[in-house]
Structure 1
């Protein structure tokens, strides 16, 4: 079984990764602003995308804004990543998530150990990968890489 894959150059991969990280944080701040306006909250600080210390509660609107904006950001980013990376959305989604975890740890000066934050992050990652991969398949189904079965 032969698999013919053209491997991208490191510069191309890093450029696409940088574009994906920029898209992720631009979408995140836009969605945060919209959510803060929708929920009529006054305080939006620069640390909001990295805040994992807020106590989870369905009554706490600040927590709801952070949760809703994270999930919406992941889904929209997954759809936008398709335009940059085509069918390799899952790879870039996981890498951007690891970068987000590293940035969050650096900004908050602490590694996030809150289970609710990890659950929200995992759910967002799943929606990013599933939504992005579905759109990628729909848009680029003729260009997807399939194994060539020589001896079949």
Structure 2
């Protein structure tokens, strides 16, 4: 039993992944900008906000609240938008985009994230993105879903 993969399939996957990453960060920066404007914060770097895990977690710290709200909103909206692009494998793209985000965060901040609150935020956001997007994809495209034949395994 050999695995046969067409180059066009790989190109489609990478193109979908590129679109998902661009959508994720576009939504992230829009959400951060709206939160900064909504909370009227002037001392936050909006370019580093998606990667900032060093802000101390406190509900009275408006910088932390902006980072948390924008992250969770981004994960939710991105999952729904991923469903429109990839149609079925939303969970796979959600995990991959989240891993890319963790990698970029490590590069931008020059250290691996060790803050518990950041990992909880990422984990809950990933769950919302994967489940919400997958549910929307199922509802919109359930007639087009490809179900594996388990007798071949």
What is the TM-score when the length of structure 1 is the normalising length? Answer: 0.90
CA RMSD of aligned residues (A): 1.6
- 1:83 is matched with 84
- Which has more helix, going by share of residues? 2
For the 8 Å contact 1:31–1:73, the answer to whether it is kept is yes
Following superposition, the deviation at residue 87 of structure 1 comes to 0.7
Secondary structure, counterpart of 2:11 in structure 1: helix
Aligned to 1:71: 72
Q: CA deviation at 1:134?
A: 1.0
| Residue 116, structure 1, aligned to residue 117, structure 2 | yes
Residue in 2 that maps onto 1:36? 36
User: Which string of whole-angstrom CA distances, capped at 9 and with x for unpartnered residues, describes residues 77-101 of structure 1?
Assistant: 0000011100110000000000000
CA deviations 1:15-70 (Å, max 9, x no partner) are: 11000000000000000011111111123421111000000001101100100100
Q: How far is the alpha carbon of 1:130 from its aligned partner?
A: 1.0
Task: Name stretches of at least 5 consecutive residues in structure 1 with no aligned partner.
Answer: 1-5
Distance 2:94 2:149 in 1: 27
Question: Partner of 2:59 in structure 1?
Answer: 58
**Paired residues of 1:87 and 1:133 also in contact (CA < 8 A):** yes
In structure 1, the partner of 2:105 is 104
Deviates more, 1:111-120 or 1:7-16: 7-16
User: Tell me, what secondary structure is at the counterpart of 2:57?
Assistant: coil
Q: Detail structure 1 runs of 4+ shifted over 6 Å in the superposition.
A: none
* Contact 1:33/1:44 (8 A) holds in 2: no
Give the number of equivalent residue pairs: 145
Structure 2 partner of 1:15: 15
Return the alpha-carbon distance in structure 1 between the equivalents of residues 148 and 102 of structure 2. Answer: 34
Taking the aligned partners of 2:36 and 2:147, their CA distance within structure 1 comes to 44
Give the secondary structure class of the aligned counterpart of 1:146: coil
